[in-house]
Homo-oligomer: A and B are copies of this chain.
Amino acid sequence: MEELRRSFQAARHQVSGHGKRNVGVLKDALRNVADETGSDIYGNGAVINDFEQKIAALLGHESAVFFPSGTMAQQIALRIWSDDRDNRHVAYHPLCHLELHEQDGLRQLHPIEPVLVGEHDKVMTLEDIKALPEIACLLLELPNRELGGVAPTFSELETIVAYCRERGIRLHLDGARLLELLPYYDKTASDVASLFDSVYLSFYKGIGGIAGAILAGPKSFTTEARIWKRRYGGDLISLYPYVISSDYYYEQRKDRMGHYYEQAKHVAERLNAIDNIFTTPRVPVSNMFHLHFKEEMTDVTARLTRIQEEVGLGLVGYLVEHDGYCSTEISFGDAFDAISNEEFEQLMTRLTADFSA
């Protein structure tokens, strides 16, 4: 697996992402910022407050708070809604970030008992939600990253929202990759985000910033979120390195999400044409998909390593083993534009030769 990773990183170009995560990414964002620009100070100051207001407006919400991370922002959102409804139960999908990647922070830090809703291999349905016990809040991740960036249709979403509204269930949107989904929905960020009581947006996924997140909602909600941000140690004296870079890459990429989405659909179609390769979803609905190889992992690893070394393109940096196949994640950004048609066709030819039945 180490060889596969090395061949991926050593390649001239990678299929996924926005290019290397290095200090140049921060320097580019700072280049045109005057040295005299004042730091934010513990959440105050134009540099942070202007950006908060800009993203609040984008999302159609009253107010927003910039956080160092989505992990912190989302736990806090769920805690506020749990207190608000005086109910310890919040519901989310079994593949939710809070369930998989946060070392059980929500349960360890709060008197909250999450309820898992929906099945492991698909997005939750209205029927799943109807079967829930009484809950304070439902978290929906749009698109669902761990399922390959999938989402319900917009009308299914509206039905779910209406059901929850009727029952007084608070709705929180894990919109880490919300912008990446908008071309499929053909909606504005506000069309989607304003269906929810609160929204989290990340700035280092499709937007490709350094780190940082926005949590938006009503003023009463963000006022409380700022108190919790202080409690968590997220109210840093200076968050401007993340704020400035978030704003810079947001401006640079906000209108490119349709382009990334088209790349994802195009490449998925080409890959699905190879016998022992398939993607989920088959037709992407965002800038990403999961890529699967229906063969033994050791074998796939060896073949992909060789192909990546010889073609000089990085497609797969790691593989996860499943029963009868192995998988990776592909997400599109600026990096793919650096790849010529010839290089891409060479990659496809090699994959077809190595993975056809």
Q: Which of A's residues lie within 8 Å of B, judged by CB?
A: 20-27, 30, 33-39, 41, 67-73, 75, 101-105, 108-110, 204, 210-211, 227-228, 230-242, 244
* Complex Cα spacing A26 to B24, Å: 13
Q: Are B109 and A231 in contact (CB under 8 A)?
A: yes
One of B24, B102, B241 near A242 (C-beta < 8 A): B241
CB-defined contacts of A33 to chain B, threshold 8 Å: 23
Query: What would be 17 A-B contacts, judged by CB atoms less than 8 Å apart?
Result: A20-B36, A20-B38, A21-B41, A22-B37, A22-B38, A23-B30, A23-B38, A68-B233, A71-B230, A71-B232, A71-B235, A102-B230, A103-B230, A105-B233, A210-B241, A232-B233, A234-B234
* Complex Cα spacing A234 to B102, Å: 10
Q: Are A23 and B35 in contact (CB under 8 A)?
A: yes
One of B38, B73, B230 near A105 (C-beta < 8 A): B230
| Complex: chain B residue closest to A38, CB-CB | B22
Q: Are A105 and B23 in contact (CB under 8 A)?
A: no
One of B35, B37, B68, B101 near A234 (C-beta < 8 A): B68
In the complex, how many angstroms separate the beta carbon of A63 from the nearest chain B beta carbon? Answer: 18
Q: Are B67 and A233 in contact (CB under 8 A)?
A: yes
CB-defined contacts of A38 to chain B, threshold 8 Å: 20-23
CB-defined contacts of A105 to chain B, threshold 8 Å: 230-233
* Complex Cα spacing A109 to B232, Å: 8
Q: Are A231 and B108 in contact (CB under 8 A)?
A: yes
Q: Are A68 and B236 in contact (CB under 8 A)?
A: yes
| Complex: chain B residue closest to A21, CB-CB | B39
CB-defined contacts of A234 to chain B, threshold 8 Å: 68-69, 72, 232-234
CB-defined contacts of A26 to chain B, threshold 8 Å: 30, 240-241
| Complex: chain B residue closest to A236, CB-CB | B211
CB-defined contacts of A30 to chain B, threshold 8 Å: 23, 26-27, 30
- Residue among A20, A39, A241 with the most chain B CB within 10 A? A241
* Complex Cα spacing A167 to B68, Å: 39
In the complex, how many angstroms separate the beta carbon of A237 from the nearest chain B beta carbon? Answer: 5
CB-defined contacts of A237 to chain B, threshold 8 Å: 21, 204, 210-211
CB-defined contacts of A101 to chain B, threshold 8 Å: 230
CB-defined contacts of A73 to chain B, threshold 8 Å: 233
CB-defined contacts of A69 to chain B, threshold 8 Å: 233-236
CB-defined contacts of A231 to chain B, threshold 8 Å: 102-105, 108-109
In the complex, how many angstroms separate the beta carbon of A300 from the nearest chain B beta carbon? Answer: 24
Q: Are B238 and A103 in contact (CB under 8 A)?
A: no
Contacts A39-B210, A67-B233, A102-B230 known; list 10 others, CB within 8 Å.
A23-B37, A23-B39, A68-B236, A71-B230, A71-B232, A102-B231, A103-B228, A105-B230, A105-B232, A210-B237
In the complex, how many angstroms separate the beta carbon of A158 from the nearest chain B beta carbon? Answer: 31
